[in-house]
Every structure is written in structure tokens, then in C-alpha cells.
Structure 1
Amino acid sequence: MSDLLVARRFALYAGVGAIGTGTQYAILIAMVRSGSASPALSSMVGASVGAIVNYGLNRRITFRSNSNPLSTAPKFAIIALLGVLATGVCMKFFATSLEFNYLIAQLVTTALVLGLTYLLNSAWTFND
């Protein structure tokens, strides 16, 4: 795959992911402000909902996959679960250990998890 195609696909992945990320941030902010949960747990809940939103969009738009959804959905779910766990670890580290504001911690976490999940989904989930 050419570098241009990889860059285009990553831009699509990030753009499509912005919809799920918006969902994640809304849940994060609502849960933290209401005192329902810690930033780490709130972010993990938001990431879980965002992953559901992102599956269909990535399958159709980013990767234009013709693979059977019964094959790709479980793989995407495993990658999403890894992303949710990575989100929890990163948020705990940045927001608690380093005492970043939870929204700053979320921005850094989002960038890290975006790169990780893109690489894994490209190599495994949607590798036609």
C-alpha cells in the first residue's frame, strides 16, 4: 500500500472517528460533571459507546470493506476493547498520576489510542 493511500486512509479513520470521539467526550464530560464516575471510568464508558458508532462508519467509509460483518465485527470489538483498556490506563496515568486536567488528559489519550487502533484495525480487522 502506498504512503499516500495510508495517509488518506488514516485521515478518513480520524475523521470518521471524530463522530465516535464526540460521543465519548460528551459522555465523559456529563459523567464527570455530575459526579457519577472518575475521569478514567467516564472516558472508558464513552469510548465503548463511541466504538459502536465507529464500527459501521469505518467498515463502509474508511476501509470500504466487503468482508462479512460476522468476521470483522468481532475483530473490531477486540480492538475496541483494547482501546477502551488503553484509554483507562492512559487517563488514570495522565489525570491522576500526572494531575492533568481531565480534558487535557483525554486529548493526549485520544491521540495515542487513535494511532494504536488504526494500526491494529488496518493490519487485522479490515485487512482484505
Structure 2
Amino acid sequence: MELIRYAFVGVLNTGLGYAVIFLCMGVLDWSPVASNIAGYAVGFVVSFTLNRSFTFRSKGPARRELRRFLLIFALAYLANLAVLVLCVHAMGLDGGWAQVIAGFGYFGLSFALSKYYVFAEGAGHRDAGSTGHV
């Protein structure tokens, strides 16, 4: 169930991030770079908040989890970029397919690191008296 909730949060977060980006560019007349920063900032906050409360139901220290979430966000992005470059330059794949492959890598790595590192200690399914099922 966590994987499904994580995917749901990812879809919601992506849609909201793009909405902010296009609102900033189209309505507020911001530059594409400033709009992108705003969209990713909003998306980051929404992703952290929903993954903490909805996906993993964590009750751990929010400040520590936020620092960890920022770290895994950066690591997953760098892994995504590395896979993208490898697919395009070393394997000669089409850029679109390479983006899809890299995106799956990002999703899998960020889920695993969120589950087993960011929210592991505070996850609701690991509380005393829990059956272990989510």
C-alpha cells in the first residue's frame, strides 16, 4: 500500500508543481527559471508533508526527517541525471525513452530511501502494538 500511496502523492505533487510553474509564468509573468524554482519548492513541501503524514504515517521528528528528505531528493535527482546521461550518451537511446527510464530510477530510489531512511524510525506501521500491515 505504501508504494501505491507514494505513487499517488507523486502524481499529485507533479501536477501541483506544474500548475505553480505555469501560473507563475502565465499569470505572474515570472521567468521560466523563477517559475521552475517556485514550482519545485511548492512540490517539495507538498511531497514531504503528504509522504510523511499519508504515505508513511510517520510520527518521528519532523525536522530530522525534513533534512533527510532533502538529502534523498538530491541523491535521487543525481542518480536520475546519471541514468539519463548514461542512456543518451553511452547507450544512444532516444532522449524521451531515456527520460522515462531515468524517471523510473528516480521513483524507485526515492521510494526506497524514503521508506528505509527518511521515515523508517517514525513510521506508523512500526509503532508498538501494530500488526505490521499497512
Match of 1:115 in 2: 108
Match of 1:124 in 2: 117
Post-superposition offset of 1:68: 2.4
- Larger displacement relative to structure 2 (98-107 or 10-19): 98-107
Match of 1:63 among 56, 61, 64: 56
Q: Identity percentage over the alignment? A: 27
2: CA distance between counterparts of 1:75 and 1:67?
Answer: 12
Flag the 1:120–1:88 CA change in 2: closer, same or farther, 3 A: same
The count of aligned residue pairs is 103
- Give the TM-score normalised by the residue count of structure 2: 0.64
Q: Please provide the CA RMSD for this pair.
A: 2.8
1:67-78 paired onto structure 2 within 5 Å: 67-78=60-71
Flag the 1:101–1:52 CA change in 2: closer, same or farther, 3 A: farther
Hey, which of these two has a bigger chunk of helix by percent?
1
Match of 1:98 among 91, 99, 105: 91
For residues 40-94 of structure 1, the C-alpha deviation after alignment (integer angstroms, 9 at most, x for no partner) is: xxxxx89x92544421221121011122221110001111110010011011111
For residues 83-125 of structure 1, the C-alpha deviation after alignment (integer angstroms, 9 at most, x for no partner) is: 0100110111112332323222111111112111111111111
Structure 2: gaps of 5 or more residues: 22-35, 123-134
**AA in 1 matched with 2:82:** V
- Give the TM-score normalised by the residue count of structure 1: 0.66
2: CA distance between counterparts of 1:56 and 1:71?
Answer: 13
Flag the 1:15–1:78 CA change in 2: closer, same or farther, 3 A: same
